[in-house]
Structure 1
Amino acid sequence: MTTQKQNRTLNKKQRELFVKYYPTVGKIVNSMRSKLPSHADFDELHSAGVSGLADAVLKLDPKKEKSFDGYVCMRVRGAIIDELRSLDYMSRSARNDAKRLEKIREDLERRLGRRPEESEVRAELGVSQKQFDKIKRRTGTYSFISLNDTAASDDSSAPNIEESIPDENA
């Protein structure tokens, strides 16, 4: 058995540990599922977790084998989180700003009993208009769609979106 990243063959002890802890990967992905975005693909995350397990097995220090359970969980979770971050179109700081902005909007809406105006959100953030505009650009919401989807979601005979885009070269 080899891993793609390091292309090293596992020795007998490493193979035994890999097989023993393999079910743990699925358990960890399932336990994280409720906190994951709906578009997160189980198989992709499971694959990342398996890579984390293989990495843990390859880096095993025999003197610390008794604490291997915790180490495996940490490596598998870390690999899954790294995979999620690689799929995210926003940087970590932009994602943190988006969460902060959303929390402020929710708090203001609760306090005011209505949707807050942009100026109220900006004042609560304590930033200038220029800084606020920059935050909004960095944290803008984007929707990604497949060009293979149909324009009318309930009509499978409708042309897909790609077919409805005019070809300027034709």
Structure 2
Amino acid sequence: MFYSDDEKEKLIKQFLPKIKHLALRYHHIVQSVLELDDLISAGVKGLLEALNKYDPSLNVPLSSFIEYRIRGAILDEIRSLDVFSKEFRKKVEDVKKTWKNLRQSGREPTDEEIAASLDITPQQLQEIYQSITASDVISLDNSLISQNGDRLNLLEVISDEKDIFEEINLREVKERLSAAIESLSEIEKLVISLYYYEELNMKEIAQILGVSLSRVSQIHGKSLLKLKNFLEK
């Protein structure tokens, strides 16, 4: 479908607030290596690519398709940096396995117990939690967007016009996610809800909770680690 320069400019102005919102949402992850303007530029590029690739015959709303391409372009920009080293991924995996092993006792392990088992300080463990936010939010956010541009919310995995097998599969995913979220503490549930359901960024959540930005990232990272372990059972 062809769009004139004037139509493209109008759409860019229309979606610029959304682009800025998404750029801010992810900027805290890579603020040391990427400027906010870089993510905004990637979002604009995604919008223009959406206009070139949009096919009305697919019966997908243009606005949904554009948002999908914008988000995807920003996530691609971040992934292209390859920020997360093998050493970092090993640390995350070690924390994940330790949490799972200690959890077998039948109760929630404390951060002090996890740190002691890994022979690291509690502060180092908090830094790992914060880093988990940076790595997992990219893959998780990307997996919650379907290819036709529909967003599959973490709290509401909904299917429209699926065959019976897809219905059963998504129903199971939704039930498992709901059970996993219920296993979190109240503060962890709140952070997950505000970030994925309300789509607030980390800074906004920190202001609501009256805590530091790094503390929100730590809570978010620990929540993701617990959700992943729960879903892998």
Bin the TM-score by the shorter chain: 0.3 to 0.5
Q: Pick 1 or 2: higher relative contact order, CA cutoff 8 A, min separation 6.
A: 2
Q: Normalising by the residue count of structure 2, what TM-score does the alignment of the two structures yield?
A: 0.37
Q: TM-score, normalised to structure 1's length? A: 0.48
